Amino acid sequence: MGLDEVAGGVETEPAERIEAAEEMLEESGYSREAELEEDLRRVTAEYQNYRRRVDRDRSSEKERVKGQFISELMPVLDDISGARQAGELQEGPFAHIAERLETVLAQQGLERVGEVGIPFDPNEHEAIMQQASDEIEAEHVAVVVRSGYRIGDRLLRAAQVIVSSGSE
């Protein structure tokens, strides 16, 4: 009794059957190389899509974190704006620090939203009041109570404004 019989009869295909199967596959148009090339193209495309998705996700996460950080700085920016309006930040070291902070934030893409005289836009402005004004035409911003901020396309905070109702 041989070792194969004791182990359960391991079956092996004769070389002729293997060659016949390969010839049949070739006749039917099957090409192992073509299949492998197609698999390689598919895996390469999947990897490129994965890389694009990761890069896009990384970029959007970076913008989200930047927006969150700037949102936490908004009370400081409001204090700086209030001090400037009160005339307390005309010159000196604190005025210089405030300018540097605003410059750095602008370099990071922060834009102030809300200016007197521009048309009222409910997507960017929060109207807290409406009042008559001879200088500002109707449905335009008459007073900016609190500036809003945008970073890129994302509005971080709408500007609180008083809207002109036109002349009385």
For residue 87, the 8-state DSSP code is T
Distance CA(122)–CA(164), nearest Å, equals 14
CATH number at residue 158: 2.30.22.10
Nearest to 98 by CA among 63, 68, 73, 65: 73
pLDDT value at position 53? 94
Helix (H, G, I), strand (E, B) or coil at 152: coil
What's the domain range around 128? 112-168
Place of tokens 């939203």: 113
For residue 133, being part of any structural domain is answered with yes
pLDDT tens for each residue of 37-63 = 999 999 999 999 999 999 999 988 888
Residue 16: inside a domain: no
3-state secondary structure of 160: strand
Judge whether 67 and 157 are in contact, CB under 8 Å. no
Gap between the Cα atoms of 44 and 3, Å rounded: 46
Task: Please check the confidence at residue 133 and state whether its pLDDT lies above 60.
Answer: yes
Q: Is there a domain that residue 145 lies in?
A: yes
**Residue 134 covered by a domain:** yes
pLDDT at 140: 87
The pLDDT value recorded for residue 11 is 55
Cite the beta strand spans of 22-158 per DSSP E.
Answer: 110-113, 125-131, 141-146, 148-151, 154-157
In a domain? residue 146: yes
- With H, G, I as helix, E, B as strand and everything else as coil, classify residue 130: strand
For the stretch 64-91, pLDDT in tens is 888 888 888 889 988 888 888 888 777 8
For 89-115, the pLDDT digits (tens) are: 778 888 888 889 889 999 988 999 888
Distance of alpha carbon 139 from its chain centroid, rounded?
Answer: 32
Residue 56 lies inside a defined structural domain of this protein:
no
**Interatomic CA distance for residues 46 and 52, integer angstroms:** 10
Look at residue 149 and tell me if it is in a domain.
yes
Would residue 131 count as lying in a domain? yes
The reported pLDDT for the residue numbered 87 is 80
Split into its structural domains, the chain has a count of: 1
For residue 5, the model assigns a pLDDT of 53
DSSP character at residue 122: T
Contact between 38 and 76 under an 8 Å Cβ cutoff? The reply is: no
pTM above 0.85, yes or no: no
